[in-house]
Amino acid sequence: MNEISFSAQFRVANGNYQPGVWQIADSYSQNTVGAAAGVMATSTTAATVPSSIVSTLGYCVVKNLDTTNNIDLGVFASGTFTPFGKLKPGEQAVFRLYPGVVFQAKAEAGTPGLSYWILQD
């Protein structure tokens, strides 16, 4: 059974550059019930996104609540924060986290809020 459903539309129209529309509509299974959700204040020091109640990381939905500052998303490994993505002001993203990673966020400036929802796999 597919307990998670997801739909999105991504459209680009930049002057004469109009490559079309990318549409996604699908559903996925969730093996274990549960999620971690909340809002964290980020800073210019990377910090772990709270997810200790999730035993196996699954889908992740994040949104930058700030109107000015970017938030870098990354993983912590071998004592180092390694960014893999960026949320500009007001942007959001959906992706699946790799089980066992330490998911972190870091502000490029200020203390922007990060809304997060991390589902059990």
- pTM attached to this predicted model: 0.89
DSSP state, residue 87: E
Residue 20 has a pLDDT of: 87
pLDDT at 35 over 80: yes
Domain limits, the chain: 31-120
85 within 8 A of 93, measured Cβ to Cβ:
yes
Q: 99-109 pLDDT, tens per residue?
A: 999 999 999 99
Mean pLDDT, the chain, as a whole number? 94
What amino acid is encoded at 15 in this protein?
Answer: G
Which residues touch 17 (CB under 8 Å, ≥6 apart)?
A: none
CATH fold label, 31-120: Jelly Rolls (2.60.120)
Percent of the chain, pLDDT > 70? Answer: 100
The arithmetic mean of pLDDT across residues 32-48, rounded, is 96
What is the token pair recorded at 103?
A: 């998911």
